[in-house]
Every structure is written in C-alpha cells, then in structure tokens.
Amino acid sequence: MLDLVHKSTLHSMVCQAILVLICLLCYGCGGLSGAKFVFDDTVAIVKNRDVNSLPTNWTAIFTHDFWGASLLSSDSHKSFRPLTTLMFHCEYALLGLSAAHMKFLNLLLHCVNTILMWRLIRSLYVPEVSTARWAILSAALFAAHPIHTEAVSGVVGRAELMFGMIHLLCLLLTVANTGRLGPQTGGLIMLLTAVGMLFKESAVTIPMSCVLLDYFQNGYYHLRFKDQWSLLRTRMSYLFYLLGTLGLLTGRLWWQDFETPTFKEVDNPVAHNEHVLTRGLSQQYLLVMNIWLMLCPHWLCYDWALGCVKLVTNIWDLRLQGVIGFYSIVLVALMNFRRLPGMMLALGLMIIPFLPASGIICVGFVIAERTLYVPSIGFCLLSIYGFLYWYDSSTENTHWRTALRILLMLLFSVMMVRTRQRATDWLNEEQLFKSALQVCPDNAKVHYNIARLATDMGNNTKAFQHYHRAIELYPNYESALMNLGNLYREHGQLTTAEEYIRLALQAYPAFPAAWMNLGIVQSAQGKFDKALASYEKALKYRANFAVCYYNMGNLYLEQKRYAEALHHWQHAVALNPRQPKAWANILTMLDNKGLQEDALRISNQALQHLPNDVSILFIRANVLGKLKHYTEAEAIYKRVIELEPHNTLYHTNLGVLYHRWDKTQEAIEAYRTAISISAARASTARENLSKLLKRLEREAQVMQR
C-alpha cells in the first residue's frame, strides 16, 4: 500500500516537474534578459501614476481604471482592475520599475496555472477517456501554446493570469464538493469571483463555468430533459450563483455610475459599422478567427484593429464557411452530449470565459490574443479529448497509434519553438512591431506604432514613411495625422504641420491633444492670440490637461507675461507632478529673479516626484553654487554627471563651481573634460580655462619676483 502511495506521489511530482520545465523552456532560460515594457505596458504601468507613485494612493487605485484615468471620466475605458494595479504598485515599491522581474512573475503564475489545470483534469470523472493522460497532455499543451505569449510576456497580461488562477481554483472547489455543494462552498466561490473581478472583469463568468462543471460531474446529463429542467430550477446553489452574479454585475456597474465606455472606430471598426448585417456577420467571423488562432497560432499580432480583418458585408462571403463549420461542431456536440460529455464540458469551458470578449458588449478591440488565455483551457481539453478518443478507438492498429504518438510529439515541439520565438518578439517594441507588419501589412495602427517608435529613436525618415502609410490606409486616423504634424513642426515646416493637425481635428473635433499641438504651432508662428484660443479649446475638452497648462506658460513667457507664465507652470505640476520641463521652467524663473531660497524649496518638492531628473538636479546645483553651498552643489553635480557623463555643460558648470571655490586643479580637470567631450560646444569651458591658466601664470610670475 505504501509503495502505491509513494509511486503515486513520485508520478505526481514528475508530471508537475515536466509541466514547469515546459513553461521555462518556452518563456524562461534566459528568455527574459533585456526585456522591456512594450505596447500597453507603457500606458498601464510606466505612465500610470497609480502604479509608480509613492506613497500608495489607495483612493486613486480604487477609483481609476486600469490605464490610470478616472473611472467616471468620459475618456475612461471602464476597465476596473484595482488589484492588478495594486500588484504592479507593490512590485514597483519593492523592486522598482523593471520589466524583467514583472515578466518573471507572470511566468511563475503561468506555471502555477498549468499545474492547477493538471490537478483539475486529473480529478474529473470522464469515463470515455483516461483522465491521467488527458490531464498531463492537456496541461502540457496549455503550458506550450503560443496563444498565451501575449498574456505571459506582456506585463499587462497579469490580469488574465490572475483571472485564470482564480477560475481554476473555483473549478477545483466545485469538483472537490461534487454532490454536496453547500452554502459554504458556494459562498467561497462567489467571494473568489468578486476578487477575480477586481483583477479582470471577465471573472464574472466563473459561477457559470462552475455550474457547467457541477452539471456534468453529477451526471445530470443522463436525465430526461424535463427532469433536468425541474432539477436545475430547484437546485439552490445554481440560483445562488445566478443571483450572486447579477449582484456583482450590478455593483460593478454602479461603481462606474452605470456609464458605458466610448471607443473609437480605430479601436474596433466592427462595432462602429452602421449596418446590422455587417456587424453580425463580422462578429461571427471574428469568433471563428479566435478559434483559428488557437488551432493554428502561426499568425499572431499584438493588435488586430485596422486592416487585419476585413469586414464581412454579405452572406456570400466564403469566410463564413468557417462559421458554419464551427456551429456544425457545436451542433454535433449537443447531439452527442450524453455519449461524449467530456467534449461538451471542454466546449463549454472554452466558450463561457470568452463571452465578455465575444461582442455581446462593446469592447475596444477586434481580436485580443491575451483574452484567449482562459478560454484556451477549454480548447486544450477539447483538442486532447479528441486525440485520445481517436487514439483509444484504434486499439487494433498499432502502426496508426504509433504514428499518432509521433505526430503529437511533433505538435508539442512545434508549439514550444513557436512560443519561444513569439516570446522573443515581446522582449521589445521594435521586434514586436516588426513581427506585426509581417502578419498585418495593411494595419494602420501597426504603421502608426512603428512611426512613433522611430520618432523616439530619432529615425525621422522612417517615421515620416510609416505615418504617411498609416494615413494612406486610414485617412481619418486622427492620432497619426496629429503626430505627423508634430514631426513637420520639429523640422520647421510650420505651415505643413498646421495642415495635418487641422486634418486631425476634422476627423475628431473633440481631440484635446490636437488642439494643444495646434496652439504650439501657432505660437511658433507668432500667432499668440490664436494659440491661446487653441489652448483654451483643448482645456474645454480636457479640463485637467497638465501639459496644456505647461505650454500656455511657455506662450506667456514668449509674451514676457512672467507672472502668468509662472502661474500656469505651477498649475501644470499641481495637476501632474511628473513634468520635468515645467519644474525646470519654474526653477529657472525663480533663479533669474534672484529668489534662490524659493528655488531650493521648490526643487525639493520636484525631486520628491522626479528624484533622478537631471534638469532639476542641475538647476538645484547651480542655485546651491550661487549661495556658496559648495559641498552640496559638488555632490549634486557629480550625481548629474554620473547620470549623463557626456554632457559638456555639466562638466563646465562643475568647473565653474571649483573656480569659485578656489579649487584650481579640480576646475582645470573639469574644464578639460568638457573640452575633450565636445570642443565645438565647450567654448565657455575653453574661455574659462584660458583665463584660469593665465591667472595662474601671472600669480607664478609674481611669486618669482
């Protein structure tokens, strides 16, 4: 007996070790080195003050959406995931803002979910297949499936991973209490569902999945339909799940003031199409596309919005054959659900978690691969169920069974290689966008993101090319039009810049950023009154637009209205303290007015929000030097130089500090370092060095006399 227990324990440990090893081979083993925040990570984490601000702002975390906007704002996507945001914030507080460690935690969660899935399937009662084999093969497919790459390698996929974990825990609770589902178990599942909804809204489907699993595990499908209906109506736990789900949904909607999100056509062209038939047919085709991505994950793209999937406009579109095929499979499953309950269970576990993303409510995407993380549990079950049913029915044909085993191993190998390749794409944005261009060359959003990244990297030629291509593919792409206008402005082509920004405003008149950028162009043209009107228009559409207040301050500075300029910069940093240019302008103005003590006080406030900002540190060091606080100024200059060692100005000003401090040798070294970095830009350093050397020469001559 003990030997059997030991063998069973050893077998379990080996199975779990194999599953973890598959996860590590796909995503770990050096695959996270050089990882960066990509795509949605930038908005949800890097630029989200709820994540990267200390001390913890509990009110903001529980009243803002996942992207950092107020949940009651008209701009909000209403994606309320405070516990996911809180996880990111805790990681930031403990380990700093590092993509590698955040992605590593995602990998650990994926390992946990894989093991939970294995435990769940192993505990099911499905007589038509071997549950031990079904468990290990389904979990292995889940571990290696490439469709999970976005959820695991994209940090914002944390929401899906946590939803998956809670979903599997609730299913395990349901199986463990089969036949005796009491109020304690039901209450615990509803509590976990509520917690899951704070990680990802789709967790609201968990009770429905639990009902499905309980229905099949209790064997209710054997009863006549009339008896089944009577049983379902009288089963209190099912009624409790229904009422609890409705209560959670009502509470969730109440928290966002029963407002619905507003998405642009750029985000989801299907939902914005005016023809009901086109919307309906296209949505059905998208359902099949999602299944196809799980079935054949060769074409994977981080964004399927514009140009990836053409709309289905009539019933004669050949792509609808896939829709007919899918519903035929569902029909066959329904007709045989008593004979093949495992197939129906797997199909249900694939469909139910996908319902929120299926188009029954308006969503801000066409296809989002990370939303398939939990539905893929059912897909993996269904795929391996079909394989085992086929394999077990071929007992007399040993050659065929051998061929099936070889094909299965080949499938796993291909899946692992593809996942590893796709995980590499998600290491940085350049690789990610490049891979998307191969899958969706006519996707305007892909070209837009490539252009945006090229601008950040200083490759303006490439940026111009892809912005123009994005606009060619989608002429009303307001963000691309505005950014192209900004690019022309940076190249001094102000008239062309104004034309493109006005085109952006024609496409979207309530575009606050475009109004602000139009004001910047008009200010550069000397049209100060028009610029002010444009800024005011931007503030009309976004009242707390901090960057706009900063630019208004710059406008007043050009008009020599210093008090108003200072006021607007102060208002900008009050709204958003993470604006280094606004802080730098405030400090420079105070310094120029001779208010050094005020400048020091304000710089302390600025450094609480931006402790490593070079411009703020540099101005503070200059002010301390003027006040003859040489030791403190020297320490800050050295810190600035450590952050940017190749900046001529910083070495020059350190030399000036030493010059005033009568540290002659140190001043000479600082000046010479500045000249060695860039002789052309070090004119001040050359002049000061020349004066210092001449002074030293005169002093030496006097000493000799």
Lowest mean pLDDT among 435-439, 639-643, 701-705: 701-705
pLDDT over 60 at 30, yes or no: no
pLDDT at 334 > cutoff 70: yes
Token pair of 12 as six digits? 């379990």
Query: Which range in 223-227, 647-651, 684-688 is most confidently predicted, on average pLDDT?
Result: 647-651
- Spatial distance between the Cα atoms of 419 and 414, rounded to a whole number of angstroms: 9
Q: Is 621 within a domain?
A: no
Given a contact cutoff of 8 angstroms between Cβ atoms, the answer to whether 677 and 651 are in contact is yes
| Tally of domains in the chain | 1
Residue 57 tokens read as 């702002």
The 10 Å Cβ neighbour count of residue 274 is: 6
Q: Are 136 and 118 in contact (CB under 8 A)?
A: yes
User: For residue 239, is pLDDT > 60?
Assistant: yes
C-beta neighbour count of 410 within 10 angstroms: 10
690 confidence band (pLDDT: 50, 70, 90): confident
pLDDT of residue 125: 86
- Give 418 or 76, the one with higher predicted confidence: 418
The mean pLDDT value for 164-186 works out to: 86
Provide the b/e sequence for 2-23 (b: ≥16 CB within 10 Å). eeeeeeeeeeeeebbeebbebb
* pLDDT higher than threshold 70 for residue 522: yes
Least-confidence region, from 243-247, 386-390, 502-506: 386-390
Residue 430 maps to a domain = no
Domain with 20, as residue range(s), is 1-46+97-278+338-418
394 in any annotated domain: yes
Higher pLDDT, 341 or 140: 140
Dump pLDDT digits (tens) for 95-150: 888 888 999 999 999 999 999 999 999 998 888 888 889 999 999 999 999 999 99
pLDDT of 703 reads 67
Query: Would you say residue 475 lies in a domain?
Result: no
The pLDDT-based confidence of 307 (bands split at 50, 70, 90) is confident
Domain contains 697: no
- Reported pTM: 0.87
Q: Could you tell me if residue 683 is inside a domain?
A: no
Q: Does residue 572 belong to any structural domain of this protein?
A: no
The pLDDT, as a whole number, for residue 234 is 67
**pLDDT value of position 672:** 87
Question: Tokens 């789900």 correspond to what residue?
Answer: 245
Q: Give the number of other Cβ atoms within 10 Å of residue 331's Cβ.
A: 10
Mean pLDDT estimate for the chain? 88
What's the mean pLDDT in 578-597? Answer: 90
Greater model confidence, 128 or 480: 480
Comparing 304-313, 449-458, 608-617, the range with the smallest average pLDDT is 304-313
Cα–Cα dist 62/83, whole Å:
9
Residue 641 lies in a domain: no
- What's the chain's Rg over C-alpha atoms? 31
474 pLDDT higher than 80: yes
Q: What percent of the chain has pLDDT over 70?
A: 97
pLDDT at 165: 97
